[in-house]
Structure 1
Amino acid sequence: MNVLKPHLQTTIWTLLEANASQREIERVTGISRHTIRAYQQRFAAERANCPGVATGSEAVASQTAPPRPPAPAVAPAPLASSLCEPHREFIQAQLRLKRNAMAIFQDLVDQHGFAGQYNSVKRFVARLRQKEPEQFDRLSFLPGEEMQVDYGEGAPTRVPGSDRYRKPRLFVATLRYSRASFRCVVWKSSHQIWAELHERAFRFFGGCPQYVVLDNLKEGVITPDLYEPELNKVYAATLAHYHVVADPARVRDPNRKGTVEHAIGHTQATALKGRRFESIEAHNEFLAHWEKNWAAKRIHGTERRQVQAMFEEERAYLKALPLLGMQYFSEVERTVCDDSCVRVAHSSYAARPAAIGSKVLVRIYAQRIEIREASTGDLLRTHPKAERPGSVVLPQDERVFNPSRETRYILRQASEIGEHAARLCELLFAIEGRVGQRKLWGIVALVRRYPAHCVNAACAQALEQGIYSYKRVLALSEGLFAQALAAIEAHASGDNGAVLTTPELTQQHGLIRDVDEYGDLFAHAAATATATVSSTTAATTTAPGSLA
C-alpha cells in the first residue's frame, strides 16, 4: 500500500465519514481507488480493534493539532455493489459463449432494461473473465516410431580461407522415444545436403524410424499443404529408399516437433554457448564428443531415465538399413525430339515409349540416367550415362525411318547439286535415319563454299571408296577445288607454251542495234528537253504583266 502524507490520510477519512464513494474520492483527490480502498479497510480494522481510540490518520493529525473529543462511532461504508450484480448469471452465460463486453452491454439494455453505463459492464466482465491456461497434451510414442528434425544455428566458426567467423547451420535429428540426438553443422544447405544429413542420422542411430516430422522449409517441402504437401523429389526419393514416411508439421505450429526444438535449444545453451571453433570439422568433433559423454548420459527430466539406456531399448525397434546407400540425382525436364530422343549434356538418349513432342523428366545419376513420365513419375527408360558429349544412345531397331518435310527438303537440295550427291545423302539417311540428318545438312551446305560440280564429284569419290561421312566429302571437296584453282592459274600463266591473247569483243549480233539508231534516239531526247525549257521560261516572263 502506498504511504500517503498525513493531510491526505485525513482527507480520505473525512470523505469516507461523509459516505462519499471511492470513485468520488478519487475524482476529488486524484488518489487511486486501490489506495483509497486499502486505507478504508485499515481504518475499519483499527476502529474494530480499539473502539473509541483515534485511527491512524487521527493519531498522525494529533501531532500537529490539539486533541479533540472522539467522534461518535460510525460504521464504515459498505463497498458499493455493481449495477451488473443482478445480471451475473446472464453475463456469465454470455462469457461462456466468448462474447465481448460491448455485446453483453447491448443485450442488457435491449432485453433487461439495464440503466448503467458501458464502463460498469466492462469492469464487471473483467472481474468475471478468467483466462483459461493453454492446454498442452503430452504426446506418447512407441520405440522406433518417430524422429524429429530441424535446423538451428551453431557456434561461431572460422570461414575457410579468412579470419572471419560465421555461424553455420546446426542440423539436429532426435528420436522421440529415447531423446537420443544426432547433431551436425554444415556451411550451407540444399536439397541433396538435407537428404544426406538424414542419411547420416539413420547411419548414426543404426536404423530407421517409422516416420520423420519436419517443418516446411524448402529443402524438404516445396509446397506446404495441410492434406497433401509436395515434397522435394530428392528428399522424397531418399525417404522412400529407407522406407521412411515424411510427416510435415502444420505451418507455424512448432509445438508438433517440440522435442527437436528443445534439443536445439539445449545444444545451443549448454554445449555451444560462448564457444568458437577454428574449422567446421572441429565443430562436428566437439558435438560428437558432447553427445557421447554428456547428452547421452544425462537423466531426462520428464522420463527420469538415462537417455542412453532408453536408446538401447529403442535400438531394437528401428528398421534395418538397406545394404546400399542413396544414389543422389538431379532432375531436369526435356522434350522428346523428332528422332525419339532427348538431349542431355550434349548427348542423345532414346525416350520411347514417350511420344515425340511430349515432356519427360530426366533423372541424372552419376553412372546412369532415367527417363520418367512427367505427370506420374513412372519409369520409362534407363540408359548408362554417355562417357563423352555427342554420343547417341539409340538402339538400331528404334531408329526412325519416316521422312518428314525437312528430310525431303534436304534430299531435294542434294538432288540439285548432282546425281552423286543425291545418291550419297539417300544412303546416309537409309543407314542412320534421322540421327544422321545433320550430316546431310553439312553436305548440302558445302555448295556455299565450293562449286556444286566439285561437291558432286567429291560425293562420287566417297561412294566409290565406301565412306559415307560428311568429313570425308568435305576433305574431297577441298582437294578438288584446290586442283581446279591450280589448273586455272597454270593456264593463266601460260605454262603450257601457248600465247595468251585478249579475246576480241563481238561487234555484230542480233541483239546489238545499229549505231545510227542510238544517234537518232539521243537527238530526239535533246530536242524534247530544249522545248520543255523554252516553254517554262516564257511562262515565267509573262506572269508579272498579267498581275499589273
Structure 2
Amino acid sequence: MVLDPHRWLELRRFRPLYESGAMSLREIAKETGLNRRTVCKYLKDPASAAPPKREGAGRRHRRVVDEVAPLIDAMLRSEVLLKASVVHERLVQDYAVTINYQRVKLYLQEARPRIAEELGIAPGELAGMHRRFEVVPGAQAQVDWGDEGKVLAHVGVPKVYSFHMTLSYSRDPFCCFTTAQDLATFFDCHRQAFAHFGGVPMSIVYDRTKTVVRRHVAPGQAVPLHPEAVAFAGHYDFDIDVLAAYRPQGKGRVERQVGIVRDHVLAGRAFSSVEEMNAAFAAWVPLRRAKVHGTHGEIIGRRAARDHTALRPLPKSPYVVTQRYLRHVGKDCLVAFDANLYSVPARKVRPRQLVEIRATKSQVTLHSTVADASGQTLLAVHPRAVGRGARIVDEAHWDGLPTGVGRRVTTGNELPSPRRGRAPQAGSGPLQALLNRSAAASVEVGRRPLSVYDELTGTRPFTTNAPTKEAR
C-alpha cells in the first residue's frame, strides 16, 4: 500500500513522539485513523523519511525539442555561436520541423555551454567572440564615419568628419574629409569612393545611421530604409546590408581603417583646408597598397587588383541625391530652410501654403504640392546658401506686391491733410499749435501751487510730524 503524501505528512508529525516514547503505535494509529501495521511500517522504517513517490513520477516528461536535439547539437558543433533565430529558421525550412522559437531558445541556453565544453572552449571565452567571415572579390564593402574633431578650428571650421569605405576582400581603403554628415554629403562621398575604386561592390555594410535607416526597430524586425538610400542603391546596383544594433564586429575592416588613417595621415600634421587633408590621403594610398596585410597575408595592391576587376561598372549618369522637406510660405513670400530664406513667386502661392523643398548639395528647388493646369509643380530654383542667416531672393518673385513708393510721410512743419468731406479749420489757436509739432514746444502752460487745489477740494494740506528748524 502506497500512502498518500498528505497522510504521510500528517503521520510524520508523530515520529518525534513515537521515538521519545510519549505515544505508542496504537495511540498514533487511533489518532490518525490509520491501520496499526501501516503506522508501524512508516515510523519504524528509515526509508520512510522521504515522501512516497507516485506511480510514474520517476519517468521524465519528453519534450518536443528533445526530438530535434541531435540536429541542434550538430549545428552548434559546426558553429557554437549560432543564433537561436538561425537554428529555428533552419529547422523549419530544411527539416520541416514545427516547433516554437522559445523552446529552441531555452534549449540553446543549456546546450551551448555543453557543446562549448566538448569543443574545449572555456565558458568565459564565449563572451566577446564572433565568427570571422571572408568574401570573394567585389562582393562587399564596408562604410563608416570618423570624427576628426577640431582639426581645422584655426581656420574657422568647427568640425571635420572622415568618410571611409573599405573593400572587404582586399582591405583596399578610401577616405575623404567633409564638414557635414547630411544625406547629400554622405552619398556624394559614395560617388567619390566608386570613382576611386573604378566600380561598385555587390553589397555595402552600414550601421544604423539615419542617412540609411529611417528609424530604429526592435531586434528581429525589418529595418525601414531611407527612400533616398534605396533609390541610390538601385541606381548603382548594390545591396544595402544593415548591421544589428551594437554589433561593430560586423564591419571590423572599416572600423580598423578609421584608426589607421588617423595615425598615418593626420597624426602630427597641420592642415589649412579639407582639400589638403584629401590630398594627404591620396598621397598615402600607394604606401598602404604596397604593404602585406596581416590577415590575408598578401600585398594589398595585388589583392586590390582582383577586387577592382570584379566590381560592377559605374552607371552612365550619376545619381543626384535630393533631400525633401515640407515648409510653410511666409507672408513675405519667403520659405525657411536650413536657417536660410528662399523666395517663391507671389502670384503662385498664398501665405501659410505648404511647399516641398528639394535640396541637393549645391541647389535648392521649391515645388508646389499640387500640380497646376499644365501639370507643373516647380515654383523656384535657387543656389544653396552657404552658412546660416542668408536671404536668397529673386526680385521677379515680388512682382505685383506693394513697393512703398509714393507713400506720404508727415515731417517738419507740414500739417496732415484734412480728411475727405471735412473743411479745413482756419485759425491759429492753441489746438492748431499742438497739431504742429515744431510749434508744440512754444506752447505756454499755466503754473499754480498745489495749495490752490487743496482750497478747491476742501482738503487739508499734507503735513508731517517732523520738527522744523525753528522748533529745533
TM-score range normalised by the length of the shorter chain: 0.3 to 0.5
The structure with more helix, counted as a fraction of residues: 1
Structure showing greater Rg: 1
